[in-house]
């Protein structure tokens, strides 16, 4: 049974049983506590925590997930995968333990002819929480004998999110794979033979503090009993396909087969090679799915995880002996496998493939530069007569330069060295500990929502700001330091919830409104507006005058000019988005935006920079759309209908069944958007494009000024032109010719100065050549020359080399000032004796606190330690003498 069929059967089974099918959320999800969606219940978390009212009593989904904590275990076990899919059925105050167990038993053991999975009932084992007699009795009732029901403690059979929120005992379903996979005795004895496929969580309790998996405080019972289950799709598929591990299922194994063919090997021949091939199969698929959902390779957060996956794939293929590009062969295979279940893979393919192949090219260059840095470290170890490469050097190569530790180990072995792996692992663990501490800090700052939930229980905060900028409303509640309070006095900064509001809460890249909240004797400055939980608008305010109390009637008034300017900027981002898609193709999509009064920033995917002509074209299209006075309209409609009309959506944004679609001239621009806009594009006036730049691999950014700020920028530029024309005694239209002539004169003067400098350098070359010494049969000039750097140092080194004649000769010069520069030149006779400039400059650059590289005949480097000049030259002298 193919994996896609396993997935479809799960969805069909539960929809037949009254569950609403919910599409998978993107892997990049709008949750501050998560890097990626890592569990099937994540999109439903607001319903479990009470932050939102569920729109259905029963739901079913197959959720895309990524977990990276066990990335180093990928390929080594049967069940560790970076990307995986989680089948889940959910009930919110509807059926409970009996329903969940009966559904699970029917789907797992029912006949395949009836749409079930058809597992042998005699091979099914289950676990329940220690004192959950009810669940044990229910399992006996469907046919599981007592000897195949095992009880386990909190660590194994109690589930929570790792943060305050819902929790409860759980029951897990295992399939016995037979004695070939391990000893008998059930899951408590061996979880390789007895493979868990499904976890049924019975949510009953609200946790107030979570310190560990089995260490938490219970606040009290949940308002309703909920069901949250998770069935591992890949684990279920490997059993139904009768393969040994998840890497051999039909959605992964074809990539492994192709990788083995490229490497000239066969899967199953060598254990170490098999691990590398499984890493390739898993990581290529994981990278494909992350990139499809909008992640691009980078050096931080999500982008770093993706970059690591891609580079581990390439690294593994290199260790298998493949040094040519591999992604153009392997990634399309994974695409063909995954687009069956996820059509978005095909829709985003052009963007994904361009970014992936560009990342591979960049990494191949990193490997080349990393090799040079590695050579410097090896030279330093050899100079100290050490057989060990320091662990901090290996960590620097890994962490700073992206050079994989496996390659470092391999190359060190070839050089006759060992790597201090203990020090390397210590440094890696310290880095992981810092990352975990940061993640815990983020979680801790995002979970105290009890006061908000209390206020939300009275209903949503209607946003009236699309039509009203002044609204009279009662104060629903006041929050200070996460707690509800009864009063706020002058000087206090608190959060205020109104029954209804005209203030726009920051969202969709648009800044929050500012303004005031007033009443008789009361004045509050609105500093910020947010939605900490769905449906609740919270105003951060400074109390200037009077006392604020719950129930008090106030007047909320938005700063009208600021709102209008923000609307101008927001509509302008829609115009920029449409213009870029018109220029670059429909595969172009928004990767982020920010707008505030007078300014916009828009990020988009692109494989290369916009040329000056393209930037001019973009600005022209945008301002033409403003001049043509397109009508800006909005309407609410079902999500599927909006998508069918071509409405653009943001990756990671959460949309309900009914969405708001903003249109500019109808189909010219259609986007799902909850922000505020002008009524027609002519109200914007003008957009002045400031520039375009890269903000990550495959992501570009344009910035622009809007309306009055754009006019002011043009006025300032006009004044600048007028001032330059006056200074240069010419007309504005003649400035280009005048500046060109001045540049030509400057260039001629610089050329003449350069000729004088060259003569002076050449005159000094003879004096340096006279300082030649013998180093093991090689004529060596190793000197420090003050006031010479850059191209001059190169010229001097080459001239001295020429002056030394045809006998073996090496020239090493240190110049520069506070940041020393090192140049090394060798002649043909010296190179025949093994004197390579690239290696020698690396030896010297270490003493300068830097690095360097180049060819065998000439190389250059530098650093920050000027005091190390003498040591650098001595190190080179020692290395030359040892040839």
CB neighbour burial string for 291-312, b if at least 16 within 10 angstroms, e if fewer: bbbbbbbbeeebbebbbbbbbb
CA dihedral over 182, 185, 190, 194, signed as positive or negative: positive
What is the SS3 string spanning 492-537? CEEEEEECCECCCCCECCECCCCEEEEECCEEEEEEEEECCCCCCC
Distance CA 513, CA 465 (A): 10
- Structure tokens that stand for 462 in this block: 């209607």
How far apart, in Å, are the Cα atoms of 511 and each of 84, 532, 555, 710?
36, 15, 21, 19
CB atoms within 10 A of CB 640: 10
Please, which residues have CB within 8 angstroms of residue 59's CB and are 6 or more apart in sequence?
19, 20, 21, 22, 44, 89, 90, 92
Distance CA 484, CA 270 (A): 64
Run of H or E including 633: strand 632-638
CB neighbour burial string for 118-136, b if at least 16 within 10 angstroms, e if fewer: ebeeeebbbbbbeebeebb
φ, ψ of residue 71 in degrees (nearest 5): -60, -35
How far apart, in Å, are the Cα atoms of 21 and each of 12, 202, 211, 832?
9, 21, 35, 72
CB atoms within 10 A of CB 494: 19
Distance CA 286, CA 300 (A): 18
Residue 424 φ/ψ region, left for φ over 0, alpha for ψ in the -120 to 50 degree band, beta for the rest: alpha
Distance CA 89, CA 111 (A): 20
φ, ψ of residue 252 in degrees (nearest 5): -125, -40
Task: Point out the annotated binding site.
Answer: 570, 574, 673, 677
Nearest CA to 276 out of 334, 336, 338, 326 is that of 326
Query: Given the DSSP bridges, would you call strands 522-530 and 538-545 parallel, antiparallel or unpaired?
Result: antiparallel
Distance CA 750, CA 253 (A): 63
Measure CA of the first residue to CA of the last residue in the chain; give whole Å: 65
Nearest CA to 852 out of 403, 398, 369 is that of 369
Please, which residues have CB within 8 angstroms of residue 749's CB and are 6 or more apart in sequence?
none
Place of tokens 């789907």: 107
Distance CA 74, CA 313 (A): 11
Nearest CA to 309 out of 297, 317, 294 is that of 297
Task: Point out the annotated binding site for Zn(2+).
Answer: 570, 574, 673, 677
- Can you point out the beta strands (E) in 93-164? 124-129, 149-152, 158-160
Residue pair 873/845 in contact (Cβ under 8 Å)? The answer is no
Distance CA 255, CA 258 (A): 5
Distance CA 799, CA 823 (A): 12
Helices then strands, counting H and E runs in the chain, come out as: 25, 31
How far apart, in Å, are the Cα atoms of 163 and each of 209, 435, 535, 709, 883?
7, 17, 22, 45, 62
What single DSSP character describes residue 68? -
What single DSSP character describes residue 19? P
What single DSSP character describes residue 748? H
Angle, helices 3-16/97-109, rounded to nearest 10 degrees: 140
């Amino acid at each position: 049974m193919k994996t896609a069929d396993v997935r479809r059967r799960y969805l069909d089974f539960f929809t037949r049983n009254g569950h609403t099918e919910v599409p998978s959320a993107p892997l990049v999800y709008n949750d501050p506590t998560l890097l990626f969606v890592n569990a099937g219940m994540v999109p439903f978390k607001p319903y479990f925590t009470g932050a939102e009212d569920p729109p259905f009593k029963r739901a079913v989904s197959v959720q895309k997930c990524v977990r990276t904590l066990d990335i180093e275990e990928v390929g080594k076990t049967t069940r560790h995968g970076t990307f995986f899919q989680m089948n889940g059925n959910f009930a919110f105050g509807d059926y409970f333990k009996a329903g969940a167990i009966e559904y699970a038993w029917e789907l797992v053991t029912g006949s395949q002819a009836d749409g079930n999975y058809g597992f042998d009932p005699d091979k099914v084992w289950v676990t329940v929480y220690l004192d959950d007699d009810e669940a044990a009795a229910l399992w006996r009732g469907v046919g599981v004998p007592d000897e195949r029901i095992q009880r386990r403690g909190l660590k194994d059979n109690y589930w929570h999110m790792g943060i305050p929120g819902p929790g409860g005992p759980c029951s897990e379903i295992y399939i016995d794979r037979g004695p070939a996979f391990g000893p008998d005795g059930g899951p408590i004895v061996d979880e390789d033979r007895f493979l868990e496929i499904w976890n049924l969580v019975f949510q009953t309790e609200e946790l107030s503090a979570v310190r560990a998996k089995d260490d938490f405080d219970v606040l009290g019972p949940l308002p309703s009993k909920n069901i949250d289950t998770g069935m591992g799709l890949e684990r279920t598929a490997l059993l139904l396909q009768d393969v040994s591990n998840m890497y051999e299922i039909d959605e992964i194994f074809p990539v492994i087969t192709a990788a083995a063919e490229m490497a000239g090997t066969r899967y199953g021949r060598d254990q170490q090679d098999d691990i590398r091939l499984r890493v390739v199969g898993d990581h290529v698929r994981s990278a494909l799915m992350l990139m499809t959902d909008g992640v691009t390779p980078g050096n931080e957060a999500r982008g770093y995880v993706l970059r690591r996956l891609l580079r581990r794939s390439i690294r593994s293929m290199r260790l298998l002996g493949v040094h040519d590009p591999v992604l153009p062969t392997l990634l399309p295979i994974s695409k063909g496998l995954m687009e069956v279940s996820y059509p978005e893979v095909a829709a985003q393919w052009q963007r994904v493939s361009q970014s992936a192949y560009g990342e591979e090219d960049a990494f191949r260059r990193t490997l080349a530069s990393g090799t040079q840095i590695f050579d410097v470290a090896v030279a330093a170890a050899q100079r100290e007569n050490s057989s060990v490469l320091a662990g901090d050097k290996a960590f620097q190569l890994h962490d700073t330069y992206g050079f994989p530790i496996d390659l470092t180990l391999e190359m060190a072995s070839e050089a006759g060295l060992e790597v201090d792996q203990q020090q390397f692992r210590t440094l890696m663990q310290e880095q992981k500990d810092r990352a975990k501490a940061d993640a815990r800090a983020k979680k801790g700052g995002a979970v105290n929502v009890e006061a908000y939930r209390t206020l939300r229980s009275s209903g949503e905060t209607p946003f009236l700001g699309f039509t009203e900028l002044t609204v009279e409303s009662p104060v629903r509640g006041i929050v200070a330091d996460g707690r509800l309070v009864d009063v706020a006095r002058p000087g206090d900064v608190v959060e205020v919830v109104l029954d209804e509001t005209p203030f726009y809460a920051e969202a969709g890249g648009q800044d929050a409104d500012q303004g005031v909240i007033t009443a008789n004797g009361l004045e509050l400055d609105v500093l910020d507006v947010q939605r900490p939980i769905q449906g609740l608008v919270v105003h951060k305010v400074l109390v200037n005058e009077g006392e604020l109390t719950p129930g008090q009637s106030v007047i909320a008034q938005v700063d009208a000019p600021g709102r209008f300017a923000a609307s101008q900027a927001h509509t302008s981002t829609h115009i920029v988005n449409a213009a870029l898609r018109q220029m670059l193709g429909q595969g172009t999509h928004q990767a982020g935006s920010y707008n505030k009064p007078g300014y916009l920033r828009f990020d988009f995917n692109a494989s290369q920079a916009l040329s000056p002509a393209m930037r001019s074209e973009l600005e022209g299209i945008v301002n033409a759309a403003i001049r043509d006075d397109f009508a800006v309209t909005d309407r609410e409609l079902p999500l599927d209908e909006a998508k069918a009309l071509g409405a653009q959506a943001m990756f990671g944004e959460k949309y309900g069944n009914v969405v708001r679609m903003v249109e500019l001239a109808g189909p010219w621009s259609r986007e799902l958007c909850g922000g505020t806009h002008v009524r027609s594009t002519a109200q914007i006036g003008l957009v002045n494009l400031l520039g375009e730049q890269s903000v990550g691999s495959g992501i570009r950014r344009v910035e622009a000024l809007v309306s009055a700020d754009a006019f002011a920028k043009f006025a300032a530029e006009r004044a600048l032109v007028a001032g330059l024309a006056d200074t240069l005694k010419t007309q504005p239209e003649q400035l280009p010719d005048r500046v060109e002539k001045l540049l030509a004169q400057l260039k001629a003067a610089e050329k003449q100065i350069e000729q004088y400098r060259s003569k002076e350098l050449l005159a000094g070359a003879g004096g340096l050549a006279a300082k030649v010494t013998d180093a093991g049969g090689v004529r060596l000039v190793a000197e420090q020359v003050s006031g010479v750097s850059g191209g001059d140092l190169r010229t001097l080194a080459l001239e001295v080399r020429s002056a030394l004649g045809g006998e073996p000769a090496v020239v090493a010069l240190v110049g520069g000032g506070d940041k020393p520069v090192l140049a090394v030149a060798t002649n043909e006779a010296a190179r025949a004796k093994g004197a390579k400039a690239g290696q020698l400059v690396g030896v010297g650059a270490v003493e300068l606190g830097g690095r360097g590289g180049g060819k065998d005949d000439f190389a250059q480097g530098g650093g920050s330690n000027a005091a190390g000049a003498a040591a650098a030259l001595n190190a080179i002298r020692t290395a030359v003498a040892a040839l």
